[in-house]
Chains A and B, each alone.
Chain A
Amino acid sequence: MGRFILRRLGQGLLVVLGVSLVVFVAMRVFGDPAKVMLPLSATVEQRAEFEHLIGLDRPLPEQFVHFVKDLVTLDFGESLWQRRPAMEVVFERLPNTLMLIVSGLGFAILLALPLGAIAALRPGGIVDRVTVIGGLIGLSTPQFWLGLLLIMLFAVNLRILPTSGIGSWQHLVLPALTLALPSLARMTLLVRSQVIDELNQQYVKTARAKGMRFHTVLFGHALRNTLIPFITLAGWEVISALAGYTVVVESVFAWPGLGLTAIQAIQRNDLFLLQAIVFTVAIAIVLVNILLDIIYKFIDPRIKLA
C-alpha cells in the first residue's frame, strides 16, 4: 500500500511537471507576461525593470529552472490584484470550491444510484423512458444556461432563493443544483444501462432459479457489480468539476471559489494568481486520482494496487 502510494505520487509529479512545462511555454514563449501584466502606459524603463524583476531577461532554460524551483517551494509570487502572496488567496478561496463540489456532486452521486436502478427494473417502461429522456436533456444543457434559468425561476419569479453570492445555506442551493444536474444525468444513465446488463446475465437467472429473492440479487449482486464503473464516472465528475467546470457555475452565481477567482485574475491580468490556481488544482487532481485507486481496492479485492 505504502509503495503503491509512493509510485502514484511519482506519477503525479510527472503530471505536475507536464502542467508546468505547458504553462511555461504558453506564458514565456507564446505569450508576453510583461505585455499582459503591465498597464498600456508603462514606459520602456518600467518594462525593463519588471522583466528583470521576474527574470524575463535571462535565457529560457534558466527561466524554466527558476520556474520549477518556485513551484516546488509553492512560491507563486505576489498577486497583482490583491497585493498579497498568490497562495494566500488560493487557500482562502479553495474551501468555497470544495464546499460546492462536495454538496453538488454528493447530491448527484446519492441520487443517481436509486434513480438509475429503479429505471433499470423495467426497461422500456414509463419510469425508464422518463429517466432516459430526462437524462439526455440533462447532459445536453449548458451549465451556465441552466444556472441562469434557475435564477430566473427561483430568484426573480418566485423570490424564494438569493440570486448570487455566499452566506447562508440558501445561497448554496442553486449553485450546487446547477453543478449537480448534468453529472446526475450522466451517472443515472450509466447506472441504468449497467444494471440492465447485469440483470440479463446468466448468474441472475441461476440465483433466481434457486430461489434467491429478487432484491437480494439486485442489491447483493447487480448493484455491487455496477459500483466499479459508477465510481470511475463519479471520480471523473469530481475531477472535471475541479478541472474547471466550477468556473462556469461560480461565475454565474458569483460564488467566491477558485473558479471565479481564476476569471477575476484573467480580467485583472493577474497571471501569477492564475498560475497558482492552475497548480493547486493540478495537485488536487493527482490526490483525487490516488484516492480513487484506493477506493477501488476496497470495493473489489481482486484489484491489485501496483
Chain B
Amino acid sequence: MTDKDLSPQMPFRLNRRQLVSGMASIGLLAGAVLRPAAAQKRIPIPEGDFAPVPIAIPNFAAGTPSDGDVGAGVTQVITNNLRRSGLFAPIDQAAYLEKAVNFDAVPQFNNWKTINAQALVTGRMTRQPDGRLKAEFRLWDVATGQPLAGQQYFTQPENWRRISHIISDQIYERMTGEKGYFDSRVVFVDETGSKERRVKRLALMDQDGANVRYLTRGSDLVLTPRFSPSTQEITYMEFGQGDPRVYLLNIETGQREIVGNFPGMTFSPRFSPDGQRVIMSLQQGGNSNLFAMDLRSKSTTRLTDTPAIDTSPSYSPDGSRICFESDRGGKPQIYVMGASGGQAQRISFGEGNYSTPVWSPRGDYIAFTKQGGGQFSIGIIKPDGSGERILTSGFHNEGPTFAPNGRVLMFFRDPGGNGGPSLFSVDISGRFEQRVPTPGFASDPAWSPLLS
C-alpha cells in the first residue's frame, strides 16, 4: 500500500463507505446505549444445574381392605420407574410426616414442604364389584398447591403393573415435558448355561425387568430380535437346520413363519415404521446386500448391489430413509440412503469401526457401536453426520436400542471371561447408566414402542 494514492475518485468512494459505516456505527451505538429503563430490576439466575425433582409418593390408598397389597405394589413400580429415569429423586417413605394420605382431600402441603418435596403423587386402588380394578392418581405441585395431573383407569387386576407404568408415564410427561417410555417392553436373547454350551432363547419382559417370558425353547440359536411397530410381532434370526433365516413371531398367538425364502443367509432383520415391510441383509457369495420384503405381497426389492458387506439396516421413523453398516469404503462405516435404494452417503468419519446403527424414534439421532483402540463404545450421531458423542466405553459394549421417547438407550455389555453379557441402559446425555435386571445373562435387546 502506497502513501501516494491521490486519485480524485478515491475520497469519494471512501467517503461513501465511511458514511454508510459511520451511520451503521451510530445506529449500533444508539441501539446499545439507549436502553429503555426497566420497570423493575431484572436479576438473571444463570447458574442452575440440572437436578432431579424431589418427589414424594406415599402408598396408594386401599379402596377396599383387600387392596392394600396392590396399592403398595403400584407405588413401588412407579417409584422405581421414576428413580431409574434419573430425572426424579423419590423421597424415602420413612421420612414422610404423613404416611396415609386421604385421596379425596386436598393434601396438607406443609407436611410435604417440610421434607423438601416439590411434587407429590397420591393414589388409590379399588377393586370393583364386577371384578375390575380401578386405579386413580393425582399429581400435585407442592409449592403452589396446584394439581398438575390426575386420571382414573379401569383394568383387569392382573394388569396392575401396566397401570403403574401408564401412571409413571403421566407423571414423567407432566414434569419433564417429554413423552414417557415406561409402558413398553424389551425383547432380548436370554443366555444360560456354561460358556461352551450356551443356551439362547428369545425372551420378553417389561422395560423394568418384570414379567419375563420365553418365546423360544432354546434348541436353536437365535439372534437380533426386533419389535414390529404394532408390537404384536417380533422378527428375529434363527440358526435352524441349514442356513440362518429370518422369522416372524406373533407374541400373542405364538405363530411363527419364515420371512421370504432366499437362497443364502439372511441377517439382522428390522421392521419398517408402518410394519408392512421387513428389511434385512442377504448374504450371497462373499458379500451381503440389503433387501426389503413386503409382508403382504411377499415381493422383495433389492436395495444395494455392491461387492461390499452391507448389513444391519434401520429405517428412519418416517420411513423415508434407512441407515446401515457397510464396509464398501474399506472399514465398516455408517451410511444413509433413501428407503428405496439409490445413492448412499457415509456419515461416520471418526477413528474406528462403526456398526449396528439404529435410528431413534424421534428421528434426531442414530445410535451405533464403535470399535477402536481396544474399546467398544456406544455412541450417537445426527443423521447428517454431525454431533457425534460417545455415551459409554469399555469392553465389550454392543447393540444399542432406543426407548420409545428417544431419550434412553439400552445395550448389552459382555465383560468377557467366564461370565456373560448383561443389559444396561443409559441416557443419551451419557448419564444414569445402570444395569437392567434379567434372570440370567442377556444380550441383543430391542425396545418396543409404547404399548398404549
The answer to whether A binds B is no
